[in-house]
Amino acid sequence: MTENSTENTEWPLWEVFYQPKDGKPFEHAGSVHAADAEMALQNARDTYARRSEGIAFWVVPSDQIVASTPEDVGPFFDPANDKPYRHPQFYSVPRAVKKRK
């Protein structure tokens, strides 16, 4: 172990998103290390696009992603079960629409 062993010598982390098809939303593929944006794109290609997984990439520095915290789970994601007025089941569905099902 050298004195510098705790120093972080790794390249920064980037999150990789790929678009499976034209018009489809981008999906998270994983992450790569890279010193800059161009190399992040290339590393993304080498890591996640060797088998025709997609047609386009986004790479984003991981530290630029703003994420909700686990504590947010209440206010952010609480289901609306106790607020029945948010659900559409009180509307009667026209017969023509029902038939189509």
The count of residues interacting with other proteins (CB under 8 A) is 15
CA-to-CA dists, residue 63 to 13, 26, 98, angstroms: 8, 19, 48
Q: Rule CB under 8 A: is residue 58 a binding residue for other proteins?
A: no
Beta-sheet strand order (sheet of 56-61): 27-33, 13-19, 56-61
Can you read off the two tokens belonging to residue 43?
Answer: 């590393």
**CB under 8 A: which stretch of 20-28, 32-40, 54-62, 78-86 binds other proteins?**
32-40
Query: Can you tell me which of 24, 27, 30, 46 binds other proteins, judged by CB under 8 A?
Result: 46
**CB under 8 A: which stretch of 17-25, 27-35, 53-61, 91-99 binds other proteins?**
27-35
E strand spans, 1-101: 13-19, 27-33, 56-61
Residue numbers at the binding site for other proteins (CB under 8 A): 10-11, 32-36, 38-39, 42-43, 45-47, 50
